[in-house]
Structure 1
Amino acid sequence: MATTLATEGFRAAPTLDERVYEAALLFGEGRNPSNFSRQNTLMEALTTDDFPKLLGAAFEKEAMTAQKDAVKEYELFALPKNLSDFRPKKLVDLFGNEYFEDVKEGEEYKGGKLAETDVEIRTGKTGKFFNLTWELQLSRDFSDLADFPKVLGNAAVNTENKKVYEVLVGKAGLNTSFFGSVDNKPLTSENLIAAIQALSVKENHRKELVDISTLVLVVGPGLAIQANSILNAEKIVRKVTDGGATTETTESNPFRGQIQLQVSREFVNQNGAATKNTSWALLPGKNTSNPAVVKTGLIGHEAVDIRVKRDQGERVGGGAVAVNEGSIQDDTIHFRGRHVTGAAKGFTEAAYGSKGAA
């Protein structure tokens, strides 16, 4: 078998990247229970020093790919901001409409200053242990191990989603600490117009009109069809009540192409109120001058980090024990996933929330 392993791609390939790829290829072939020959080769390879390391590197790449592909339910409205460390920081005001001042001939330019805002942001460490048993490996059932990188990659993005939506909602429903007052109007085209009109005259922290050039409508899955219908209809019917008379007019849809839709499961998952399925929110886009949410990370640690616990001990007669043999205490292989992320309230003057029911 040693001669066979010497000719395997994970040892014969000339570069590290190719050896990592070949290790993943062997794992994929060995997972197939009908391919008995390749499964035996995989079982032998797992007992070596080099193959588990190469396979681990392949898993890390797969986890990062899964993290990249997972649905980020905040991308339309949360401003991404990676920090250099874990200390809280004030957000520097780079969002305003600055003006140059007139300069006379021979006159020095007047100095400007980028002021700190009252918005405090920070990031934090998250993670969890995941365990796989030695018995599972001996049974030649590698399905759980194969799914493991995707589980960790998805867990990283799920945590990002959770952190962001915890800023918006909580056990009592939409957070008044974020939205200020929470409305109770259902999601209709008329109520959406009224919400936009109310936002359009508000001022931001610089005493300027808020920037609502891009707006994001946030709803749970239960309102997805209704929201799509409102935003994408060619025409809408508006009702105007004057005294006791109500007039209906049909007009071109003002929302079409102007408002982005974010359907979020986490918006509902983190909402503990009975109105969680009827709640909706309007938030400024992340590229406006007043993003309402800031999503944080740590520079150089953007991807999920995977490690394995080396507590397998040593042979009585000397010699190392492979990690895949499991812990000396319970024969379990302990994997740890870590991800650095966080979220904070930004400039909320242009945010509107409604629980959708009286």
Structure 2
Amino acid sequence: MNAPAFLTRDLTFKSSSLDEKQRTVEATATAFGSVDRGAFIERLDPTATTAEAFIGLPVLDSHRQDSLSAVLGTVTAARADNGCILVTIKFTSDSRANPVIADIREGMITGVSIGYQVEKWADSRDPDTGRSIRTITQFKPREVSFVSVPADPDARIRAMPTENQPNSPEPPKTPTPDLAQRNQQIRSIAGTLNLTTEWTDSQIDSTSTLDEIRAAAITEAEKRTTPPIRTQSVQILADHTDPHTRAERMSDAMMTRIDPTHKPEDSARDFIGMSIPEMARDCLRNANVSTTALSQATIVSRALHSTSDFPLIMGNTVGRTLRQSYDSVPSALKKLARQTTVKDFRAKHRIILSEAPDLEKLNEHGEYKHGTMSESAESFKIDTFGRMIGITRQALINDDLGALNDLPRRLGIAAADFEAEFFIKLLEMNGGKGPKMGDGNPVFHEGHRNLAQTKGKPSIETLSVLRQALRHQVSLSGKRLNLSPRHLIIPAELETLAQKLLAEITPNRIDDVNPFSDLGMVVEGRFNNPDRWYLATSHSQMDGLEYAYLEGEPGPQTETKAGFEIDGIKIKVRLDFGACFGDWRGWQMNEGK
């Protein structure tokens, strides 16, 4: 699982534990409470970390990691107390921390926040509210920061004992560690500030106190020109602010509700189980729009017409569903065709070259002769086809997944059917002879030697005639191509006959061997003529049926917009598509009957 790399929690404190002479203050680092992360409620298990893990952590200004001037001090001691972890913060000795100390004294700064890295967690659901619960079972604290806005009222700077509070716990005292503990803390301080091994060893060998070593570490770090690089924090910020990445993850999570067999990416698990209104609320929060006291209807309406990525998420989900259904029912003829791309909608002239010239023996002078290649041209163009559908606001508020499933699914099937019909219409042009080629004749023509003179249903005899015609086809320069048949293309009415004809059998005599058992059968139920059938070679041997999409947009494409004509989302489906015959030599046709 890919855990969030760096998270923060805001706490509150009081200034009464401030010791300005010693430049220390005591705070509650964590009370193991809950935080609403939008997509889920995050809870910290009391055993998720230890007090010792906080010792030596840097104390920063508002989680700033871009400058050493943001380092205000360090955590010198930590202990567990009544289900909380208390830390003692010692400020740096220079003047940079003085304004913070003064604001703490006046009660202006009351917020503390910890930054931590999640290592293990477990997901569940609240039985009363239905909200997703993520319990952090192991995390590693990385830093402590003073912040302006606290979030957790149960965590605060510890108050010093007063006469009215005789039983208040005493502030923790900085322990005097033994040699092993002292060395470990020195290494922790050096690692946090990215100091060298030589500096660390020199401090271990010195007789300085830990407070003196911390001050020396901060001074040494200020001399360095390159601050510590924290790439994890930068990655998380980019991940949360990129609307396309967020939309992909939320759409991936929604697909698990539409299709129970769908396996989401680990990065989408934060959003699994969220309803459509819950996603709308999360999108508004991510766009810094308050959703307090708003009804579900208002939340969905605002998410549709705000700058949030909610319409993008809905469109992404529709696009996924449409593409799945489109890919599930490909045209039978499309499997035989070669896919290409074009850059625009102008007619394209496709140049067909003959085979390369024959090699010749060199004469006694070693002279090479020039060869020539014949060529012809075919042209075609793509066009744009499309439809628009609407998903109503009521369907989104009702969390109606059928609106996000049935309509796109049907449109995907319709797009696949459109392509299949396109191929059928192409083959059945000019009374079933196909489109006209560059020489002015249709694809299937006596002059092309690909129109069977002996008409009849598929049989050993009729197949043999067409196979021989394929073998004897000639190139532009007049040479035989010796093409091999690979596909038998038939209407649904001839399917049973063809199955029997192509079935592999174990013959008792040589005369009983089936010579066409290696042919692939392609059945197309959309053919209008129940008798006409075809024999074709593969497009790897000879160019034949081809289809093209606009470059960079293969298959149906979707665009989403919050609509005014309908109170909801408008989704436009567009298909830039075209098909043609690149060459007639690889196909043979029999009119049947």
Normalized against structure 2, the TM-score is what? 0.46
Cα RMSD, aligned residues only = 3.9
Q: Distance in 2 between matches of 1:94 and 1:66?
A: 38
Q: 1:52 aligns with which of 311, 315, 330?
A: 311
Q: Distance in 2 between matches of 1:235 and 1:31?
A: 45
CA contact (8 A) 1:21 1:58 kept: no
Change (3 A) 1:210 1:235: farther
Q: 1:205 aligns with which of 456, 459, 476?
A: 476
Aligned letter for 1:301?
E
Q: Find the counterpart in structure 2 of residue 254 from structure 1.
A: 515
Q: Find the counterpart in structure 1 of residue 409 from structure 2.
A: 150
Q: What is the deviation of 1:348?
A: 1.4
| Counterpart check, 1:73 vs 2:342 | no
Change (3 A) 1:105 1:85: farther
Q: Find the counterpart in structure 2 of residue 244 from structure 1.
A: none
Q: Distance in 1 between matches of 2:354 and 2:376?
A: 10
**Residue correspondences, number:** 317
| Counterpart check, 1:41 vs 2:278 | yes
| Counterpart check, 1:294 vs 2:575 | no
Q: 1:221 aligns with which of 489, 492, 498?
A: 492
Larger RCO of the pair (alpha carbons < 8 Å, separation 6+): 1
Q: Does the residue aligned with 2:443 lie in a helix, a strand or coil?
A: helix
CA contact (8 A) 1:185 1:356 kept: yes
Q: 1:131 aligns with which of 384, 390, 395?
A: 390
CA contact (8 A) 1:189 1:236 kept: no
Q: Find the counterpart in structure 2 of residue 264 from structure 1.
A: 524
What are the superposed Cα offsets for residues 60-87 of structure 1, whole Å, 9 maximum, x if unpaired? 3444444444323224432222222222
Q: What is the deviation of 1:38?
A: 4.0
Q: Does the residue aligned with 2:497 lie in a helix, a strand or coil?
A: helix
Aligned letter for 1:226?
L
Q: Find the counterpart in structure 1 of residue 564 from structure 2.
A: 328
Change (3 A) 1:73 1:142: same
Unpaired segments of 5 or more residues in structure 1? 238-248, 311-322
Q: 2:582 aligns with which of 343, 346, 353?
A: 346
Change (3 A) 1:29 1:298: closer
Aligned letter for 2:514?
N
Change (3 A) 1:330 1:61: closer
What are the superposed Cα offsets for residues 257-282 of structure 1, whole Å, 9 maximum, x if unpaired? 2x22211234x1xx3xxxx2232111
Q: Distance in 1 between matches of 2:581 and 2:349?
A: 12
| Counterpart check, 1:167 vs 2:426 | yes
Correspondences of 1:225-240 after superposition (within 5 Å): 225-234=496-505
Q: What is the deviation of 1:230?
A: 1.1
Change (3 A) 1:166 1:52: same
Q: Distance in 2 between matches of 1:111 and 1:234?
A: 52
Q: What is the deviation of 1:118?
A: 2.5
Q: What is the deviation of 1:112?
A: 6.0
CA contact (8 A) 1:164 1:342 kept: no
Change (3 A) 1:223 1:54: same
- Could you tell which deviates more after superposition, 327-336 or 81-90? 327-336
Q: Does the residue aligned with 2:478 lie in a helix, a strand or coil?
A: coil
What are the superposed Cα offsets for residues 191-238 of structure 1, whole Å, 9 maximum, x if unpaired? 21222223333324332224422432111223223212211232689x
- Could you tell which deviates more after superposition, 226-235 or 148-157? 148-157
Q: Does the residue aligned with 1:91 lie in a helix, a strand or coil?
A: strand
CA contact (8 A) 2:489 2:534 kept: yes
Q: Does the residue aligned with 1:166 lie in a helix, a strand or coil?
A: helix
Q: What is the deviation of 1:342?
A: 0.9
Q: What is the deviation of 1:5?
A: 3.7
Q: What is the deviation of 1:115?
A: 5.7
Q: Does the residue aligned with 1:256 lie in a helix, a strand or coil?
A: coil
What are the superposed Cα offsets for residues 92-119 of structure 1, whole Å, 9 maximum, x if unpaired? 3356355445567996866667664222
CA contact (8 A) 1:283 1:351 kept: yes
| Counterpart check, 1:87 vs 2:346 | yes
Q: Does the residue aligned with 2:404 lie in a helix, a strand or coil?
A: helix
- Report the identity percentage: 18
Aligned letter for 2:443?
F
Q: Find the counterpart in structure 1 of residue 28 from structure 2.
A: none
What are the superposed Cα offsets for residues 121-161 of structure 1, whole Å, 9 maximum, x if unpaired? 33222222223344444554331322344344434433332
| Counterpart check, 1:21 vs 2:249 | yes
CA contact (8 A) 1:93 1:114 kept: no
Aligned letter for 1:341?
F
What are the superposed Cα offsets for residues 14-58 of structure 1, whole Å, 9 maximum, x if unpaired? 5754652334424654999xxx98465357564422233123234
CA contact (8 A) 2:352 2:375 kept: yes
Aligned letter for 1:217?
L
- Could you tell which deviates more after superposition, 94-103 or 115-124? 94-103
Q: 1:121 aligns with which of 359, 368, 380?
A: 380
Q: Find the counterpart in structure 2 of residue 304 from structure 1.
A: 556
CA contact (8 A) 1:29 1:38 kept: no
Aligned letter for 2:513?
S
- Could you tell which deviates more after superposition, 22-31 or 164-173? 22-31
- Could you tell which deviates more after superposition, 222-231 or 198-207? 198-207
Q: Distance in 1 between matches of 2:488 and 2:585?
A: 16
Aligned letter for 1:351?
W
What are the superposed Cα offsets for residues 287-325 of structure 1, whole Å, 9 maximum, x if unpaired? 113x232222222222421012x4xxxxxxxxxxxx2xx
Unpaired segments of 5 or more residues in structure 2? 1-35, 42-131, 133-235, 261-272, 283-299, 436-441
| Counterpart check, 1:281 vs 2:540 | no
Aligned letter for 1:293?
L
Q: In terms of Rg, which structure is larger?
A: 2
Q: Find the counterpart in structure 2 of residue 187 from structure 1.
A: 458
CA contact (8 A) 1:31 1:143 kept: no
Q: Does the residue aligned with 2:423 lie in a helix, a strand or coil?
A: helix
Aligned letter for 1:52?
P
- Could you tell which deviates more after superposition, 187-196 or 12-21? 12-21
Change (3 A) 1:38 1:77: closer
Q: Distance in 1 between matches of 2:334 and 2:364?
A: 47
CA contact (8 A) 1:29 1:39 kept: no
Change (3 A) 1:61 1:328: closer
